[in-house]
């Protein structure tokens, strides 16, 4: 590469190359050492709906070395979550029962920080609380039985005429 009649990268090019190498090494190090987070809620179906007034969280942390804090945040407004629970003891799994929930949509996320510079935060997850839903679901499962019963009643009423 020629610049101003000279060969090489020059001073600025050398600095840029060093900074790029540092950034690449830092990103590779973060991917290898940042704690990874897995969150599950007991009883949560693939539709994201809970048919009870509580959410039992099971949080698992991989690469959980030197953990200083694990935080569970939650609320009904995705942009204004409150801290539900903070653990300061190091472990690979944590449990929290978020109780007294009413029907509606709830958001949650988990943050993990260690004693050094590594951390990880999940994005916002959504869970729908619908306590009335099981009754509707049961009726929907047996629609054919309800239809047959209704048809029999209609035939019986027609014969009375």
> Concatenated DSSP letters for 93-121?
EEEEEE-SPPSEEEEEEEEEEESSS-EEE
CA distance 74 to 56: 13
CATH of 34-130, one of 3.40.50.740, 3.40.50.1260, 1.10.287.70, 2.60.40.2550: 2.60.40.2550
CA distance 77 to 126: 10
For the chain, report the end-to-end CA distance as a whole number of angstroms. 101
Give me the pLDDT at residue 80, please.
Answer: 92
Three-class SS state of 127: strand
| pLDDT of the residue at 27 | 43
Tokens, residue 50: 């809970």
pLDDT (tens, 9 = 90+) of the chain, 161 residues, equals 455 555 555 555 554 455 554 554 444 444 446 777 888 888 776 667 888 888 899 998 887 777 888 999 999 998 999 999 999 988 888 999 999 999 899 999 999 888 777 788 888 888 888 877 555 555 566 667 777 878 788 888 888 76
Which pLDDT score, from 0 to 100, does residue 125 have? 86
pTM summary value? 0.60
What are the extents of the domains in the chain? 1-33, 34-130, 132-161
Give the integer Cα–Cα distance in Å for 130 and 110. 23
């Amino acid at each position: 590469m020629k610049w101003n009649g000279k060969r090489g990268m020059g001073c600025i090019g050398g600095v840029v190359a060093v900074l790029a190498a540092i950034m690449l090494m830092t990103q590779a190090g973060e991917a290898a050492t940042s704690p990874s987070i897995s969150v599950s809620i007991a009883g949560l179906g693939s539709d994201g709906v809970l048919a009870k007034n509580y959410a039992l969280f099971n949080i698992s942390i991989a690469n959980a070395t030197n953990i200083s804090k694990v935080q569970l945040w939650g609320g009904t407004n995705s942009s204004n979550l409150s801290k539900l629970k903070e653990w300061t003891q190091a472990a690979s799994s944590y449990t929290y029962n978020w109780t007294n929930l009413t029907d509606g949509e709830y958001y949650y996320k988990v943050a993990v920080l260690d004693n050094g510079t590594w951390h990880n935060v999940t994005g916002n997850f959504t869970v729908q609380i619908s306590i009335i839903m099981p009754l509707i679901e049961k009726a929907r499962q047996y629609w054919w039985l309800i239809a047959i019963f209704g048809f029999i009643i209609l035939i019986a009423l027609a014969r009375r005429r």
